[in-house]
C-alpha cells in the first residue's frame, strides 16, 4: 500500500495547482494550506514562507526537465547546420514537455505555471530564472551552430521565441478551443507537437534571412538629439 504524501509534498502539490490556476499573486497562503489540509503555519514551518514555497514548486520539476533536455541535446550533437540541425535542437527542448505531460495532472499543472513565468517581469517570479539559465546558454550555443548567420542578439532572441512558442502550446490556455468551437483542444499536446517543431524551426531560420537581407532602417532618433 503506497504511503501517504508528506506534509511538504501536500503543500507543493496544492500550491502548484493553485499557482497554475490563479498565478502567484492570486493565491493567499490560507488557500494553499486549506487545499493541502495542513495548519496555516505549515508553509512557514517547512519552507520559510510563500515565496520560498513557490521557488520549491518550480525547482522540484525544473531539474528533471533540465536533465531531459541536456540528454536529448547531447544525443543531437554534433549539431548539423540548417533546418535538420535546428529541428533536432527544438525537439530536445520541447520533447521533454510532451513526454512529462503524459505522466500526471501535476506535470500539466507545472507546465501551465511555467508558461506564465515565460512572459513575466514580476520580481518574485524572476527569482526562479537561475533554474533554467545554464541550460539556456547551451541551447543558444547550439542554435548558433545550426544557424551561424545569427549574431549574438539574434541567438538570444531565437531562444526566447522558442521558449515562448513552446510554452504557449503547453499552457493549455483553452484559446484554440474557443477559436474553433471546441473542435480542437489546447490540451491535445500530441496533435500540436509537430506543428510546434516546424513553426519554431522555420521562424529561427527566418531570422537568418532577415540578417542576410537588406539593411534594417535606422531607428528614429529621440526628439532633441541633433
Give per-residue pLDDT as tens, 145-157: 999 999 999 999 9
Residues 50-64: b if buried by 16+ CB within 10 A, e if exposed: beebbbbbbeebbee
Q: pLDDT confidence of 130, banded at 50, 70, 90? A: confident
User: What is the per-residue pLDDT for 223?
Assistant: 42
* Segment 19-37 mean pLDDT: 94
Contact 186, 172 (CB under 8 A): yes
For 170-207, the pLDDT digits (tens) are 999 999 999 999 999 999 999 999 999 999 999 999 99
User: What is the per-residue pLDDT for 224?
Assistant: 41
End-to-end CA separation in angstroms for the chain: 77
Amino acid at each position: 500500500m503506497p504511503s501517504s504524501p508528506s506534509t511538504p509534498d501536500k503543500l507543493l502539490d496544492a500550491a502548484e495547482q493553485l499557482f497554475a490556476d490563479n498565478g502567484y499573486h492570486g493565491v493567499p497562503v490560507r488557500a494553499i494550506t486549506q487545499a493541502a489540509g495542513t495548519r496555516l503555519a505549515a508553509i512557514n514551518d517547512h519552507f520559510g514562507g510563500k515565496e520560498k514555497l513557490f521557488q520549491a514548486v518550480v525547482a522540484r520539476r525544473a531539474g528533471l526537465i533540465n536533465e531531459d533536455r541536456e540528454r536529448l541535446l547531447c544525443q543531437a550533437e554534433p549539431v548539423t547546420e540548417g533546418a535538420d540541425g535546428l529541428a533536432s535542437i527544438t525537439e530536445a527542448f520541447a520533447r521533454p514537455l510532451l513526454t512529462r505531460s503524459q505522466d500526471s495532472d501535476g506535470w500539466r499543472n507545472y507546465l501551465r505555471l511555467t508558461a506564465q513565468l515565460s512572459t513575466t517581469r514580476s520580481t518574485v517570479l524572476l527569482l526562479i530564472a537561475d533554474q533554467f539559465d545554464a541550460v539556456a546558454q547551451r541551447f543558444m550555443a547550439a542554435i548558433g551552430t545550426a544557424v551561424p548567420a545569427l549574431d549574438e542578439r539574434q541567438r538570444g532572441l531565437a531562444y526566447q521565441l522558442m521558449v515562448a512558442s513552446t510554452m504557449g502550446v503547453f499552457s493549455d490556455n483553452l484559446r484554440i478551443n474557443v477559436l474553433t468551437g471546441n473542435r480542437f483542444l489546447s490540451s491535445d499536446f500530441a496533435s500540436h507537437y509537430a506543428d510546434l517543431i516546424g513553426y519554431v524551426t522555420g521562424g529561427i531560420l527566418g531570422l537568418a534571412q532577415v540578417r542576410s537581407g537588406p539593411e534594417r532602417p535606422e531607428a528614429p532618433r529621440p526628439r532633441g538629439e541633433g
